[in-house]
Amino acid sequence: MLDAASKPVLAWPGASRPHTETLTRNPGVPFDLAWLDGLRVNQSAVARRVSTLGTRRAVKKDAQAAWLLKAITCIDLTTLNGDDTTARVERLCAKARRPVRDDLLDALGMAPGSIRTGAVCVYHRFVKAAVHALEGSGIPVAAVSTGFPAGLIPHPLKLREIEASVADGAAEIDIVVTREHVLTGNWQALYDEMRDFRAACGDAHVKAILATGDIRTLSNVAKASMVCMMAGADFIKTSTGKEGVNATLDVSLVMVRMIREYLARTGVAIGFKPAGGVSTAKSVLEYQILMKEELGRDWLEADLFRIGASSLLADIERQLEHHVSGRYSAFNRHPVA
């Protein structure tokens, strides 16, 4: 056990803010090409803005521990490997229920079992197993769908895959858009596809994966973000984690600015999920600062902010142990699954 003789009292970022678990779904709006007119991105200005995220605001000691605990509650704990098994998914679900060791939580002044992840994300094949393993926890299961990761299967099969995952108990569906629609500027086709996905999801929340590493330009990222939100996406997500380039702060800034624009136009709050490459405690703090500064306190909660990750949790737990004990531990002492 760690020495907990002097337990800090950790305050969440903005702890006084009341939090509601359920937000209004995004109903979408009719397609309007005029919303895309004039959408241009100044890449140099984006780079200058994101370069300040890790330097202007210092988050250290107890405050850093509190922000990292908050980050855990926003993780979509993920396994999307070709060698996944039911046993691995069950272990992942057990970790999602108790992502931080009880002795660490106790030393931080938190009740054992008081922290859980935002969701568990798996392939369709493992949805039923994950739902069973998480029964009673309140942790939703997210299923990747629509021919993940490339999204190149026939459209009717994409809709059937969504419906099958929802039938098996998935509360969230992470869909992949057809990159060709973005690369060719066929925004009506992207809108129509996304509307079909939204309808097939029914009551399940839908996250639209843009695969930003494949659609090449920040202007494409901005326009694809807006079209997917117009079509009813509840979240927009950077990547599948399988592209050559996944989540970056540059594309994330562009996407959250589009979320802000959509909120101003419609009054509907859309969530954001960076995925792939957010693997260290230091990097997740930069994303949290981005959300707080660009969108506000509400976007530090799991209903509007998720991080698609697997190895991130182990690094956060190591940082928390260092905060408590003053020593870094080996990764094998913090297994994810």
Reported as half-sphere exposure (CB side, CA atoms, 13 A), residue 4 has a value of 15
Query: One of 95, 128, 174, 292 is an active-site residue; which one?
Result: 174
Give kind and range of the element (H or E) at residue 336. none
Q: Distance between CA 249 and CA 261 in Å, rounded? A: 18
| Angle at 113 (CA atoms; ends 3, 81), nearest 5 degrees | 105
Helices (H) and strands (E) in the chain, counts: 13, 8
Q: Distance between CA 178 and CA 194 in Å, rounded? A: 10
Query: One of 158, 207, 273, 292 is an active-site residue; which one?
Result: 273
Q: Distance between CA 229 and CA 262 in Å, rounded? A: 8
Query: One of 128, 237, 298, 315 is an active-site residue; which one?
Result: 237
174: annotated active-site residue? yes
* Distance between start and end Cα atoms, the chain: 22
Residue labelled with tokens 């002097």: 6
273: annotated active-site residue? yes
Token readout for 70 is 């908050």
**Where in the sequence numbering do the catalytic residues fall?**
174, 237, 273
